[in-house]
Structure formats: structure tokens, C-alpha cells
Homo-oligomer: A and B are copies of this chain.
Amino acid sequence: MSKYWNERIHRLEPYVPGEQPKDKRYIKLNTNENPYPPSPKVLAAIKEAVNDRLRLYPDPNSDDLRAALAARFGLSSENIFIGNGSDEVLAFSFMTFFSPDRPVMFADITYSFYKVYANLCSLQPNVIPLDEEFKLPVKAFCESSGGVVIPNPNAPTGQGISIESIQKILEADPDRVVIIDEAYVNFGGESVIPLTKEYPNLLVVQTLSKFGALAGIRVGFAFGDPELIQGLNRLKNSINSYTIDCLALAGAKAAIEDDEYYRQMAERVIRTRENTVNSLAKIGFTIIPSEANFIFITHPQYDAESIFHQLRDKGILVRYFHQPRISNYLRVSIGSDEEMNAFIVAMKDLVKA
């Protein structure tokens, strides 16, 4: 605490990301990174951009990247906002579309940054409990509110939500903005980007950090009606004209244009996920059905927090959330087959199976 901070800074409770340890090499299954490298075309495009032109500012409007995304998704550039990672896009969305006078809805078990954004923006959260199977109670989300944010699939459970359910939530209150956070949608879910043409209150957020295997270059997107995109641009241009650097712009464009490569990598991740699920089920774990590049698991006889620490000692990092209802669960990112085999061997040892 400091006398130099304003009132807001005092009451913030910042997000704590999954650890990025430097003490030794771990099998990192804790931050949902893609186990496969970025497309070779992406690396080539970035390398080409490493030249004397870095002395110049990037295009503040990311025109080329937006054009590539527009072509990829059958939209217009005016439907697209680019941010420095989807966390920035989400923070800007909270700052643009939600107001302290009406509560914003999100689930009790969801991406924990939403609570941080609500606090940042002095918003009253209306926290909706997931049902006993961690499914989204669609009816509760149809109550009128100041806004909604839902990840599809959900994090940290990996569970998907149907397009029909999202439509119901959109239609229940057309005057509020509904954010669908599709960070993990490309590992088995279905995107609602096409719905942005029908629903002016729908904002879809995606990222290159997972599917695009580009967590290291920080690019996120929002798709929606031009009115929503203009709002985000008003905010962005009141903070920082140039949020996306030249190298990220070049790499992101190449990634969008090499969808074939990324689809293949995602299929590999999905196959590995299914194998991992089968192996864990055999040793007594319960696994929430996942459409993401991670799984959410629990064991009736073993304590999750204790497994978390024991795995760490064995050089394997997973994510544990000290939080009501999920304190006996672990979130495990899907790594390569080799990494997941090592993980299963360790787990077999820990549960004495």
C-alpha cells in the first residue's frame, strides 16, 4: 500500500498467472500453451519483418491483419478489433461495455480474470453458480443484466456450451453485450463468429496464444458489430495508439493464412487429449468432458492439492485453484504425446495404480 496510489489501485486484486519457473526444466502442463511449434510460415514471416523498418511505428489500425481475418471469417474489417493478447481485449471490453450501475454476469467457476476486470472497472459481479456437473445454467444467464461474459469452452473445466444456448442468452436481453470468450474453441468447440452478423450485442473474443501456438507474441481478436468495435477502438486510442508491434502483426497474419497447419496440430492435441482421458479414467480419475486443450480432473481417493505438489516435485507443472467447489480438481494442459505419457506414468505412481 502507498499514499501515492489512488483508491482504485488499493482495492485491486491482480490476476496471478500460472507460474513460468526458471529454476529447472519442467514438463509445463500449467498454462495451456500449444505443445506444437508455430507454423514455419509464421516464423519465416516474422524473421522477414526483423529489419531496419523496426525504427518506424507499426500500423496503428492493423489493417493487413484485419483484412486477413476478414477474409478468413467472411467478415468486414470493421467487424474486427486487434489487441495485445485476448486478456487486453477482454479488459478493454469490460471497460467499454459494462457500467457500475448494472451487474455483469459470469459463472462461479470460470476464467478467474473476469473477477479481476470487474474489480478494475468497479462493477458489481452477478456470479452464477454452474450446476452440479459444472454445466452452465442457461436460464439464469437469461435474466436481464448489465452484461455477460462466458468462455466457450469454459475454463478451467473445458466444457462446451451449445450455440442454441448462446442464442437464448443473446436474445434474452438485446440491450446488453454478451462476450463469448473463445480462447479454446479450436480444440473441438464451435465458434459463434457467424452469429455476430445477426446479433449486434454479441462480441466474440479469440486469441493466437493457444490454437496459434503464439503465446509469445501476444495477439488477440474481437469480432462483432462495427458499433462494438468502434467502442473498443475509442478506448484503445485513449490508452495507446500502437498496441500491436510490427513483428506480431506479421506473424499473426501468416498464422491466419496457414489455417491448414494449425488444424492438423489441433487434431493432434485432440487425439492426445482423448488418450490422456482414457488413461486417467483407468486409474480412477473423473474427467470433465473437454472441448479444450486442457482437462479438468479429480480423483475420489486422492487430494488434488497434494497431487499438484507431488507432480511439481517430479518436474511436472499443472494448475491448481484454491477455490470453493474445485479445490479437489486439477487443470492439466494437453502437451505432446511424450509429455502426457510421462504425466500418466507419474500419476500412476501417485495414485498407486
Contacts and interface: CB of A to CB of B under 8 A. Distances in A.
Nearest to A59: B20
B242 A57 contact: no
A353 interface: no
A263 B173 CA distance: 59
Contacts of A216: 53-58, 245-247
A203 to B, nearest CB: 9
Contact of A37 (B16, B52, B209, B227): B52
Quick one: which of A3, A56, A91, A119 has the most chain B CB within 10 A? Answer: A56
A28 interface: yes
Interface centre among A2, A98, A216, A244 (most CB of B within 10 A): A216
Interface residues of A, number: 86
Contacts of A59: 20
A238 B98 contact: no
Given A4-B201, A96-B6, A217-B245, A15 B57 contact: no
Name the prevailing secondary structure of the A interface residues.
loop
Contact of A217 (B228, B240, B246): B246
A319 to B, nearest CB: 13
A279 interface: no
Nearest to A28: B56
A7, A87, A215 — which one has the most chain B CB atoms within 10 A of its CB? A215
Interface in A234-282: 234-248, 251
Contacts of A84: 84, 240, 243
Interface in A17-47: 17, 20, 22, 28, 31, 33-38, 42-43, 46-47
A36 B9 contact: no
Given A4-B97, A33-B55, A84-B84, 12 more contacts: A4-B200, A5-B234, A6-B95, A15-B237, A15-B241, A22-B63, A43-B50, A55-B214, A84-B243, A88-B239, A88-B240, A116-B238
Interface of A: 2-9, 12-17, 20, 22, 28, 31, 33-38, 42-43, 46-47, 50-60, 63, 84-85, 87-88, 91, 95-99, 116-117, 119-120, 175, 177, 200-201, 209, 213-218, 227-228, 230-231, 233-248, 251
